[in-house]
Amino acid sequence: MGFDGLVVVSDPYLQRRFTQADLRVLQTQYAALRDASPNGRLRIRDLPAAISSVRGRGAVRGRDAEKENSAPEPGPGLGLTDEEWASVLKAVARADEKPHQDASFELFLRVYAEMQLRLKAASGGGAGRAGGIARSSSSSAVAFLTAATTTLLHTISESEKASYVGHINAYLAEDPFLKTALPIDPATDHIFHVTKDGVLLCKLINLAVPGTIDERAINTKRVLNLWEKNENHTLCLNSAKAIGCTVVNIGTQDLAEGRPHLVLGLISQIIKIQLLADVNLKSTPQLVELVEDSKEMEELMSLSPEKILLRWMNFQLKKGGFQKTVTNFSSDIKDSEAYACLLNVLAPECSAKPSAMSVKDLLHRARLILEHADRMGCKRYLTPKDIVDGLPNLNLAFVAHIFQKRNGLSKQMKQVSFVDGLSDDAQVSREERSFRLWINSLGISTYINNVFEDLRNGWVLLEVIDKIAPGSVNWKMANRPPIKLPFRKVENCNQVLKIGKELKFSLVNIAGNDIVQGNKKLILAFLWQLMRYNILQLLKNLRFHSNGKEITDNDILAWANKKVKDSGKHHSHMQSFKDKSLSSGTFFLDLLSAVEPRVVNWSLVTKGEKDEEKQMNASYIISVARKLGCSIFLLPEDILEVNQKMMLTLTASIMYWYLKRPTSHSLDSENGSSCETTSITTSDDSASESSIDDNTTR
């Protein structure tokens, strides 16, 4: 099993020059420059103009945005002259790389490395080079180098580290395995050593969203070898994605090496998810107090937990007569005035003298605020200085914990008509969650909080389509948010459906306005086809011997059955992706064991006959698949109820992991050429009955 997340380049010099963390960040920046270029093609001659856009306008898409933020004309960028740019490109471009050709990622890396060398020379760090960058323009070039790779600065906040370590010490102190490692001294960097085996991070994920990881799948020996640590890190990253963390630029090797800025960034996201878990209408329906009508309800449902928390805070501040509106967790609360009012509204009985507002010194005032919170039973996520300095992450954590302890909302939920239909049935909620997490894992620029609300303007769907079918979106015809006019949203959604038809999606009786209106059934049906298309394209791209022929659901079914049969399990078989026998979990455990014999601990597997046994197997299957390297977003209930869509994605993810391994064999050699030809050419997808005509009728 190889390490996940490695970026490999063919030039040994470049591979040695950049760390894996650097390469991932630069790869993301290169993709952004390419996507912002006309027709998604970044030509060598356009590199100067494209790179210069990093400093200011950035990627621009959409008809309205083009007028104000059109890409700069080709010419000098970063303050470099034409001659200096020509010299840089001449130094790094190979003989077969012509100006009109596309700029590869490796050429982008060579330009970056060359600029680093010349800047070093220009600033006196080394001998000058012919055609080097002039000192007068070096500051502009530095702006690109820092903008392109801000995370390469590798800076961490000592205050945040101390706060997160305190959180870990408090919440995981009783964990049997971690008892010997805790408490961690926040004044040292020991946290980055403790996380190197992956166990603490997995436990922290389960603390944030209980049940995400079946702890039987975590390798918890006192001394783990490299493969066992890597399995834990792989399980951690795939599970982090499954709870909503963004891990685009983090790989297992980064966790194994304990890279401080990446480890702390991941811990920050996990703790934030834990603290904000109740800041939503589903967990805290009393939040309906914050809205007055159906329009405000729609807005609230589309807000991120952070925005809802701000709205709740202002709602409580209004009760206390506070005149200002808090818009952030930084500058707006540095003077502690908002905190003083909030705590007096929520817990007036915990106030003491002197009152916070009677003190002029900001540090003293902040100290009194924290003492008031202590009397409420709130944990300290920050120091008085952190409040005065306006550290946003720690202030957010502090307010979220206050919300958890005492939200001040009525226990009698407001009875209003526009709340009707707020709750979805269990399957709709699970599918919304799966698609939301899948979309957020793609690395698009927009983070979504609610599928049914955030997709209604069509923009996010265009971003998703552009990610899984590059070049299919006509960005000149797209309308970029914020979009006030409804017909502009319909235009975006019409383009979405037009592309869907080109991709051979089943789109009977669905119009762009259905998406704008938030039709849940139709949105879920369309998203399923997007996810399925993405899966099949990934598999197709791995099968070079197929000569571009399409993969079908039956190919995936046949592959899985053959892998299990060839492993010696002749009686383990699935008829289709809706085969009710799949609820026991035994077939998927046989499949996981077939592709990687050591990954399943059979002493932990049940017969899958009783409901409790099925539940245990389903939970174990998901964690084992993630531990293997599968990026999946289903829940145990999907296996128990045999949700055929999720059964297909689970099987396809295992298949994709197996086939992309350098050591895996082609399907031709496994299944036989004649069988492969028959399976590839068929268009029958009865295995999953993935055509959704019946789901798209109104």
223 in the same domain as 169: yes
Final residue of a structural domain among 380, 408, 436:
408
Please state, in angstroms and rounded to a whole number, the distance separating the CA atoms of residues 276 and 402: 11
Final residue of a structural domain among 542, 575, 601:
542
User: What is the reported pLDDT for 526?
Assistant: 96
In a domain, residue 43? The reply is yes
In a domain, residue 308? The reply is yes
Q: Tell me how many degrees the CA angle 335-336-339 measures, rounded to the nearest 5.
A: 150
User: What is the reported pLDDT for 106?
Assistant: 81
356 in the same domain as 244: no
Profile the chain (698 residues) by mean pLDDT over runs of 10 residues.
54 68 77 75 76 45 33 40 73 73 81 70 46 43 44 68 94 92 93 95 96 95 90 96 87 90 92 93 88 79 89 95 93 94 94 87 94 88 92 93 91 54 68 92 85 92 93 92 91 96 92 93 95 90 63 92 92 93 95 94 91 95 95 94 95 92 51 32 41 38
CB of 379 within 8 A of CB of 401? yes
CB of 143 within 8 A of CB of 149? no
Q: What is the pLDDT of residues 261-306, one digit of tens each?
A: 889 999 999 999 999 999 988 888 899 898 877 777 878 887 889 9
What predicted TM-score, i.e. pTM, was given to this entire model? 0.75
User: What is the reported pLDDT for 644?
Assistant: 94
Q: What is the pLDDT of residues 618-664, one digit of tens each?
A: 999 999 999 999 999 999 999 999 999 999 999 999 999 998 876 54
In a domain, residue 184? The reply is yes
Final residue of a structural domain among 224, 257, 276:
276
Residue type for 443, please? G
Q: Is 607 exposed, middle or buried (0-12, 13-18, 19+ CB in 10 A)?
A: exposed
In a domain, residue 151? The reply is no
In a domain, residue 10? The reply is yes
Question: What is the span of the domain harbouring residue 40?
Answer: 1-58+80-122+141-146
290 in the same domain as 271: no
How many structural domains are present in the chain? Answer: 5
367 in the same domain as 321: yes
User: What is the reported pLDDT for 268?
Assistant: 93
In a domain, residue 152? The reply is no
Residue type for 261, please? H
User: What is the reported pLDDT for 534?
Assistant: 93
User: What is the reported pLDDT for 582?
Assistant: 96
User: What is the reported pLDDT for 80?
Assistant: 59
303 in the same domain as 262: no
Longest Cα–Cα distance in the chain? 86
Beta-carbon-side half-sphere exposure of residue 137 (alpha carbons within 13 Å): 18
User: Hey, which residues does 43 pair with through a beta bridge?
Assistant: 102
Three-state secondary-structure class, residue 184:
coil
449 in the same domain as 369: no
> Tell me, what CATH number does 221's domain have?
1.10.418.10
User: What is the reported pLDDT for 601?
Assistant: 93
Nearest to 530 by CA among 444, 449, 592: 444
CB of 252 within 8 A of CB of 202? no
User: What is the reported pLDDT for 112?
Assistant: 79
Please state, in angstroms and rounded to a whole number, the distance separating the CA atoms of residues 517 and 509: 15
Q: How large is the C-alpha radius of gyration of the chain?
A: 27
260 in the same domain as 164: yes
Phi, psi for 610 (deg, rounded to 5): -90, 160
In a domain, residue 579? The reply is yes
567 in the same domain as 526: no
Q: Hey, how many other C-beta atoms are within 10 angstroms of the C-beta on 67?
A: 9
Please state, in angstroms and rounded to a whole number, the distance separating the CA atoms of residues 528 and 141: 44
- Would you list the DSSP string of 131-172? TPPPHHHHHHHHHHHHHHTGGGG----HHHHHHHHHHHHHHS
Three-state secondary-structure class, residue 588:
helix
319 in the same domain as 432: no
6 in the same domain as 115: yes
492 in the same domain as 593: no
Please state, in angstroms and rounded to a whole number, the distance separating the CA atoms of residues 696 and 698: 6
In a domain, residue 128? The reply is no
436 in the same domain as 376: no
